[in-house]
A and B are shown apart, each in its own frame.
Chain A
């Protein structure tokens, strides 16, 4: 049961976080960052397996791999941006967290433009 380990570690990290926050705030944030990195690394292997399944399905369905790679990139950018913005928000700097999310949205938009263009071209071709 992996979830039991994660919950246990989370509770331990919370207790240490409260102790450290009283004494030194910097260490509390670094502790949160280390815990977050640990959880993200742990979940990364599972995400890799899920993405592998999607890739196999796309290969069977003969979908253009360019679109699938773009979607994977978008998921990756969202993952990293969520990680960074949550740590910034924990540290109390909501404005920096907002900027990270803003940049992530713009980059995702840029990556999504080829897909949007392809959809529009398909629609235009369907309309006589």
Chain B
């Protein structure tokens, strides 16, 4: 009923990205660290935006907004 998985997914991707960022930074690859962060943010943003569109469609149908 309550899809708890997505919260864990976002937290996992966030922690992984933070670790990857610090590892790449310690190797001196600053720009790749930033690209890794950007990729992580994009993946999570994609998931959140899909949920958001689902919510907006639901609200529109329930409250009969045009």
Contacts and interface: CB of A to CB of B under 8 A. Distances in A.
Contact of B48 (A6, A34, A77): A34
Please classify how large the interface on chain B is, using the bins under 10, 10 to 19, 20 to 34, 35 or more: 20 to 34
Contacts, number: 103
Interface stretch (A13-21, A96-104, A118-126): A13-21
**Interface class of chain B by DSSP:** helix
A27 interface: yes
Interface residues of A, number: 36
Contacts of B7: 9, 12-13, 16, 31, 34-35, 38
Interface of B: 1-4, 6-7, 10-11, 13-15, 17-18, 21, 37, 40-41, 44-45, 47-48, 51-52, 54-56, 58-60, 62-65
